[in-house]
Amino acid sequence: MLTQYLSADDPQTPEIAAELIRNGELVAIPTETVYGLGADGLNEEAVAKIFKAKGRPQDNPLILHIWAPEQMEDFCHHIPKAAYDLARAFWPGPLTIVLPARDLVPKRTTGGLATVAVRCPDSAVTREIIRLAGVPIAAPSANISGKPSTTTADHVRYDHDGKIAAVVDGGPCRVGVESTIVDLTEDRPRLLRPGGITPAQLIEVLGDLVIDKAVTSQIDKDAVVKAPGMKYRHYAPAEPVVIVSGSREKAAAYIRAHFTPGDRVLCFEEELPLYEGCNPLSYGREADVNTLSAGLFGALRELDDPAIHQVYARCPVGDGVAYAVQNRLKKAAAFHIVDAEEET
Ligand code: TXA
Ligand code: MG
């Protein structure tokens, strides 16, 4: 199949992409978080193509993308006030809300669950495509399953060229990590995945938040979890990654002592001089965590090379968006962390 590359700036793009979606084809769409691999979320056959293209486990449900917040009522029922409060505060934006699903949402989309995840993304072209398609777009991150997410159209080209109908190029994604996911189907709101909307922002609106254990620890692959996606190996380059925590100086001393040719160092821009001769790659500035979230997946993709033996990675501390960066990097490292303050 010849993949079409459509510019988000071309006025014809929304209609071309919407028609492909209506015809049951796969179209990669830009969002503020990461690129999604989109299909008509109400069409089982179209949704099946997403799972096939990504090599995604069937029990891992998809997010339904809507063009206007009000649309959540079309696909969800028993919507609590909290959902309206969150939608008003953060949509369009990097937040996904899990709610009870209406019957018209296929089980293929929900991975067999009675709930569905909905999100109104902050990308004008993508919302216009959804509006013109007349159906919600089911879209996981467009990466091949298990690999780092796609934050540019080139990443999508690398993973899916010739296998999907079109890619809409909206430039690099601003946030760079996937949306925050909040489950509102239980008594208390539960954070299933941290992202661009921070726990503090959620608590300001909800007054309460439970952090699911899948956020903070490695989940056994046979475990029953709220967000099935959380238990699979994620975001990982080909080689092992170890996070080295601690002060700049202690971490550099540890890494330099253990470094062998063929290893790489993933660090902050400010640290590059400390790793001369160790082939360092910077993913952003420690002083501006938004550059780290925007740069993380591109850097992990660059490091996805079987010729590399081992990656030593530096991870930002703190909460807010740093919390989401920590979560993704820890998953890429399978929670393998060394504290340089305790090593000599
Ligand atoms: O930012 C994002 O959310 C991106 C863009 C494209 O919107 N999408 C994305 O989708 O990250 P994906 O499929 O890579 O991650 C969705 C996560 C998975 O961990 C999945 O298990 C979880 O959301 N999820 C989806 N539906 C769910 C549901 N009904 N209940 C619990 N978790 C759900
Ligand atoms: Mg994903």
Whose atoms come closest to the Cα of 170: which ligand? 1
**Residue % of the chain over a pLDDT of 70:** 96
Ligand 1 contact via 126 beta carbon (within 6 Å): no
Q: How far is the CA of 140 from the centre of ligand 1 (A)?
A: 6
| HEC assignment per residue over the chain | CCCEEEECCCCCHHHHHHHHHHCCCCEEECCCCCCEEEEECCCHHHHHHHHHHHCCCCCCCCEEECCCHHHHHHHECCCCHHHHHHHHHHCCCCEEEEEEECCCCCHHHHCCCCEEEEECCCCHHHHHHHHHHCCCEECCECCCCCCCCCCCHHHHHHHHCCCCCEEEECCCCCCCCCCEEEECCCCCCEEEECCCCCHHHHHHHHCCCEECHHHHCCCCCCCCCCCHHHHCCCCCCCCCEEEEECCHHHHHHHHHHHCCCCCEEEECHHHHHHHCCCCEEECCCCCCHHHHHHHHHHHHHHCCCCCCCCEEECCCCCCCHHHHHHHHHHHHCCCCEEECCCCC
Pick 235 or 319 by higher pLDDT. 319
Q: pLDDT tens across 335-344, in order?
A: 999 999 998 6
Mean pLDDT (the chain) is: 95
Q: Which of 141, 147, 149, 193 for mutating ligand 1's site (highest number of atoms within 8 Å of CB)?
A: 141
Ligand 1 contact via 227 beta carbon (within 6 Å): yes
User: What is the mean pLDDT of the segment spanning 241-266?
Assistant: 97
Ligand 1 contact via 192 beta carbon (within 6 Å): yes
Q: pLDDT tens across 230-242, in order?
A: 666 678 888 899 9
Tell me what pLDDT residue 221 has: 66
319, pLDDT greater than 70 = yes
User: What is the mean pLDDT of the segment spanning 264-293?
Assistant: 98
Q: pLDDT tens across 120-152, in order?
A: 999 999 999 999 999 999 999 999 998 999 999
Pick 220 or 91 by higher pLDDT. 91
Ligand 1 contact via 109 beta carbon (within 6 Å): no
Tell me the pTM: 0.96
253, pLDDT greater than 80 = yes
**Residue % of the chain over a pLDDT of 90:** 91
Ligand 1 contact via 145 beta carbon (within 6 Å): no
Tell me what pLDDT residue 344 has: 62
Ligand 1 contact via 184 beta carbon (within 6 Å): no
Tell me what pLDDT residue 216 has: 85
Ligand 1 contact via 36 beta carbon (within 6 Å): yes
- Lowest pLDDT segment from 8-17, 21-30, 92-101, 327-336: 327-336
Which residues fall inside 5 Å of ion ligand 2, going by CB? 141
User: What is the mean pLDDT of the segment spanning 201-217?
Assistant: 94
Q: How far is the CA of 139 from the centre of ligand 2 (A)?
A: 9
Whose atoms come closest to the Cα of 138: which ligand? 1
207, pLDDT greater than 90 = yes
- Lowest pLDDT segment from 18-32, 59-73, 170-184, 207-221: 207-221
- Take atom 30 of ligand 1 and give the residue whose Cα is closest: 227
Q: Which of 178, 190, 197 for mutating ligand 1's site (highest number of atoms within 8 Å of CB)?
A: 178
The pLDDT-based confidence of 229 (bands split at 50, 70, 90) is low
